[in-house]
Amino acid sequence: MQPDFYKVTGISKGLILGVLSVLLLFSCKKDEPSYEVFLPSNFPAPAYDLSQNPVTTAGFELGRKLFYDPIMSRDSTIACADCHISFSAFSHPQHATSHGIDGLFGRRNALPVQNLIWQTSYFWDGGVGQLDLIPLNAITNPVEMDESPAHVVAKLNRHRQYPALFREAFPGGDSVTGPHMLQALAQFMSMLVSANSRYDHYVRHEAGGDMSQQELAGLQVFQQKCATCHATDLFTDQTYRNNGILDNFTLDRGRNEVSSLPEDIGKFRVPSLRNVALTGSYMHNGKFKTLEAVLDHYASGVKDSPTLDPLLKQNGQLGIPLTAEEKQSILAFLQTLTDQDFVNDERFQK
Amino acid sequence: MKNAFFGLLALLITFTLTNCKKTEEEVKGLGDVVIEMDNHAGDEILEFGKSYVTAGGDTVKFTTFNYFVSNFILTKDDGTQYLVPKDSCYFLCQHDDVDSREIVLHNIPAGDYKSVQFIIGVDSLKSVSPVGDRKGVLDPTGAAAGMYWSWNSGYIFVKVEGTSPQAPVDAGTGERTLEYHTGLFGGKDSPTLNNLKTVKITSTSESARVRDGHTGDEAPVFHLYVDILEMFTTPNSFRVADVPTSHAGPFSQKVAENYADMFTLDHVHNHQ
């Protein structure tokens, strides 16, 4: 009886503490917004050098305004936030691929925008090696925003509000410049840190970190069977791998399109699994709508091809053996990676 | 006798020392060096819109010829090297902008330089640097916008565009276009092709005499010929019918190997 009683009290305490801290956060926010980048103790050191583009209140708020403004696109119809929506960890929920300008569709699933300062390269093929330069890809892509950076800058310079906002964020500059536009967006993106999931509280031994037996069992199976690629608390080893999603990659060769190396055909970024329950569809082409389908793929749907990751073909056997029970426990565990604080953070919303 | 000998020795040493000092004094200070990029098509001075014939026999006309050169190193006659500082070693040469093809290296220690070395393209470190470190010709939202791949983020090292009657009709434009955009610096944390090429030009006759305060018209000039037709030949000669375009694909390696030898020294010019 006693242990159960303790457990209940523990949860209540956690709840009260949680509610209190949320209240505290909200009250702080009203008076003085905190724009310090959250560097969680269970993460490694960031790859992005924050000191060369320090986050300031004016810079962050300018970046947020740009992120939500369709002025970035050729005909002012598409904003960054159209395919990177806050409540789904800045991904495009339920969209295999996204519709950009003129209703055109891209080839790849929009990745979540979170924890970017720990990432060393960006996009499914790692084609961009610097956080600052990420937006140029979307701006210039003919099926996304189809715009030239110089023209965006010209439009911003003609705008009623932006020139003053840029002067405030980057004192000394007399007009809107492309590099400052990218630095403001980078400041906004730097702040998008998700590390307050129940799993995080569990590993950091904080309140609100209670995990059920099934979730803990799922964590154990995950560590045995998934964590080689979905490594560290970033849940990615930041490599490119062919996970057997297809056996023919003529439509999208993945990393090979960037590297031109034959061994990279069909390889795509190992994505982080943070907030994974919110970010479906899954895989580079958005092939799977549910996490169940993803696990079924690894258990019994892996397709062979010359560049298939060796981890998915051990002892001549395709895929990762998973029992029905293991799948259920992994699914339960993956739910603990959802970070409600992050997706509900008003600082990051329009 | 002994005293006289030492006296003479002392005198000799003093004389030699003074002599040496005098020579050193002559080459103290800082001056400019000019690298003039004189674009050619074979033996002719390159003109846009004019027809030329490649080694493979294709008739080609050009509309764009831009290239990045960077990381200059100058070597004196005695073999000592001078590395041009990182913050002033990137240049974008555009055929239709004559000034951009006259590269001026400032504050070079005075001396006689027999060779100049540089990279065709932009080095890997700069290619992954924050946007705040990409000033001037390296600004991907400004001067470098047309020489930058946003989806495969790096600079286009050499950009050649034009037309040829031997090229197939482009489905998009309806014209017989040529388009060779070559980049790729080797990748950040996962490898890609590396098409950076190093060029070393050495004068076998006159060296460039850099002298204190000699800038502008007084500065010595490495006058280079840059032959656009070299891009089509040696070591990987190709026909435009077979390869009318090349971007970040595997063929870019062959294009880069071809243009690696397009820079040759015509002469070194000293003004004094």
A101 and A213 in one domain? no
Cβ distance of B150 and A133 shorter than 8 Å: yes
Alpha carbon distances (Å) from A134 to A34, A113, A140, A166, B82 = 25, 11, 11, 20, 36
The answer to whether B117 and B199 are in contact (CB under 8 A) is: yes
The answer on pLDDT for B259 being more than 70 is yes
B contact set with A (CB within 8 A): 127-134, 139-142, 145, 148, 150-153, 184, 187-193, 248-250, 252-253
The verdict on whether omega for the bond into residue A21 sits within 30 degrees of 0, i.e. cis, is no
Does residue A150 sit at the B interface (CB-CB below 8 Å)? yes
What is the per-residue pLDDT for B153? Answer: 85
Name which of A137, A182, A255 is nearest B151 (Cβ-Cβ): A137
Tell whether A239 lies on the interface with B, counting CB pairs under 8 A. yes
Report which of B163, B165, B170, B182 is spatially closest to residue B66, judged by C-alpha positions. Answer: B182
- pLDDT score recorded for residue B271: 85
- Identify the residue among A260, A265, A270, A307 best suited for mutation to test binding to B, counting B beta carbons within 10 A and taking the highest: A260
For residue A7, is pLDDT > 50? no
Residue at which a domain ends, from A194, A209, A240: A194
Asked whether residue A162 falls in the same domain as residue A67, the answer is yes
Task: Please indicate whether, in this complex, the C-beta atoms of B141 and A136 are within 8 angstroms of each other.
Answer: yes
Q: pLDDT at position A52, please? A: 95
Rounded to whole angstroms, the Cα distance separating A10 from B103 reads 72
Q: In 10 A of CB A202, how many CB atoms?
A: 18
Distance (Å) from the alpha carbon of B47 to chain A's nearest alpha carbon: 29
Out of A134, A169, A194, a domain closes at: A194
Domain count, chain A: 3
pLDDT of A273 reads 98
Q: How far is CA A154 from CA A159, A162, A176, B132, in A?
A: 9, 11, 8, 19
Chain B residues with CB-CB distance to A136 below 8 A: 140-141, 148, 150, 153
This model of the complex carries an ipTM of 0.86
Is residue A319 situated within a structural domain? yes
- For tokens 């026909």, name the residue: B239
For chain A, give the number of residues: 350
Q: Which tens digits make up the pLDDT trace of A242-264? A: 999 999 999 999 999 999 999 99
Residue A20 has pLDDT above 50, yes or no: no
Give the rounded percent of residues in chain B with a pLDDT score beyond 70.
Answer: 90
Q: How far is A33 from chain B (nearest CA, A)?
A: 26
Q: pLDDT tens across B137-192, in order? A: 999 999 999 999 999 989 999 999 999 999 999 888 899 999 999 999 999 989 99
Residue B105 has pLDDT above 60, yes or no: yes
Q: Over chain A, what is the mean pLDDT?
A: 91
Let me know if residue A186 belongs to a domain: yes
CB-CB contact of A145 with A102 (8 Å): no
Mean pLDDT, range B44-62, rounded to an integer: 98
Distance CA A147, CA A262 (A): 32
Tens digits of residue pLDDT in A30-66: 445 668 999 999 999 999 999 999 999 999 999 999 9
CA-based nearest residue to A138, from A61, A86, A52, A74: A74
pLDDT classification of A85: cutoffs 50, 70, 90: very high
Q: Note whether residue A154 is domain-resident.
A: yes
Nearest Cα to Cα of residue B127 among B92, B159, B152:
B152
Within a domain: A69: yes
What range does the domain containing A70 cover? 50-194
Instruction: Answer whether A186 sits within 8 Å of B192, measured CB to CB.
Output: no
Q: What is the pLDDT of residue B6?
A: 56
Q: Is A226 within a domain? A: yes
Residue A3 pLDDT exceeds 80: no
Distances (CA, A) of A261 to A180, A254, B154: 34, 11, 17
Last residue of a domain, one of A179, A194, A209: A194
pLDDT at A21 over 70: no
| Same-domain pairing of A312 and A335 | yes
Q: What is the CATH number of the domain that holds A266?
A: 1.10.760.10
State whether A261 and B193 contact (CB < 8 Å): yes
| Low-confidence winner among A176-180, B9-13, B38-42, B238-242 (lowest mean pLDDT) | B9-13
Q: Do B153 and A240 lie within an 8 Å CB cutoff?
A: no
pLDDT value for B3: 56
Query: A293-326, pLDDT tens digit by residue?
Result: 999 999 999 999 999 999 999 999 999 999 999 9
Establish if A345 belongs to a structural domain: no
Whether residues A294 and A207 fall in one domain: yes
Contact flag A260-B188 (C-beta cutoff 8 Å): no
> Do A62 and A167 lie in a common domain?
yes
Residue B178 tokens read as: 């040529």
Task: Confirm or reject contact between A250 and chain B (CB < 8 A).
Answer: no
> Residue A43 falls within a domain, yes or no?
no
Percentage above 90 pLDDT, chain B: 86
Count Cβ–Cβ pairs < 8 Å, chain A vs chain B.
106
Residue B87: which pLDDT band, with cuts at 50, 70 and 90?
confident
Q: Is the pLDDT of residue B1 over 60?
A: no
CB burial class (10 A; 0-12, 13-18, 19+) of residue A248? exposed
Q: Which chain A residues are Cβ-neighbours of B136 within 8 angstroms?
A: none
How high is the pLDDT of residue A257?
95
> Which residues of chain B make contact with A179, given a CB cutoff of 8 A?
131-132, 134, 139, 141
Give the whole-angstrom CA distance, residue B163 versus residue B179: 8
Q: What is the pLDDT of residues B5-49, one digit of tens each?
A: 555 545 444 444 444 444 444 679 999 999 999 999 999 999 999
Same domain, A220 and A294: yes
Instruction: State whether B134 and A179 contact (CB < 8 Å).
Output: yes
Residue A42 domain flag: no
**Does A260 lie at the interface with B, CB-CB under 8 angstroms?**
yes
Kindly state whether residues A27 and A58 are assigned to the same domain. no
Same domain, A183 and A202: no
Instruction: With CB atoms and an 8 Å threshold, state whether A177 touches B131.
Output: no
